[in-house]
Structures are given as structure tokens and as C-alpha cells.
Amino acid sequence: MATVWIPTPYRDLVGGSETVTVAGSTVRQITRNLDTAYPGFWERLVDEETDRIRPGVSVVINGVVVGTALHEPVGENDEVHYLPAIAGGQP
């Protein structure tokens, strides 16, 4: 199973855990299975209209940014990160 690193804004869904293990061979399967185990992830991560990861969230697999596509492959021993954009600063 892949290790999914949970960013701070989403840790409320996993009881504060930094990582969880999730089965799946694509970003879509990982995200669906993550949502099955911890409801709320799919809604926060996926834009249903475009069927892609929401703007402002990047997916990183083993240190490589794969963007917003849900069809990207994920290996059994891979590390997956969902990284929300950091906003703020002065205009």
C-alpha cells in the first residue's frame, strides 16, 4: 500500500495523523480509498466538474509533482503527498 502524507489542513479528517497507508494503483483509486476510510477527502481534493484534482492542490509522488490528473499511476511502495497551495502575503 502507498503511504499518503496528510498535510496539516486535512489532518482533521484522519484524527491528526501525519501519514496513512492506502491501497490503489492510480491517484484516483488512492483518493477514493482515502475518502472511504476517512470521509471528506474526495470532496476537498477533487473537482467533480473537471474530474481533476482541485486547483490549488498538487499531487506529488515520490518527490515528483504529477499535477492534477487522477489517472497517474501509484506504486505499492510509493509516497503520495497532496499539497495545498500556500496563499497569503501582501498584495
% of the chain with per-residue pLDDT over 70: 95
CA-to-CA dists, residue 52 to 1, 41, 49, 90, angstroms: 22, 13, 8, 30
**CA–CA distance, 21 with 50 (Å, rounded to integer):** 27
Pick the CATH number of 2-84 from 3.10.20.30, 3.30.2400.10, 3.30.70.141, 3.30.70.20: 3.10.20.30
Give the pLDDT score at 89. Answer: 53
**pLDDT over 70 (residue 88):** no
**CA–CA distance, 80 with 82 (Å, rounded to integer):** 7
For the entire predicted model, the pTM comes to 0.88
Give the pLDDT score at 67. Answer: 78
Domain ranges of the chain: 2-84
Kindly report, residue by residue over 37-80, the tens digit of the pLDDT.
Answer: 999 999 999 999 999 999 989 999 999 999 778 999 999 999 99
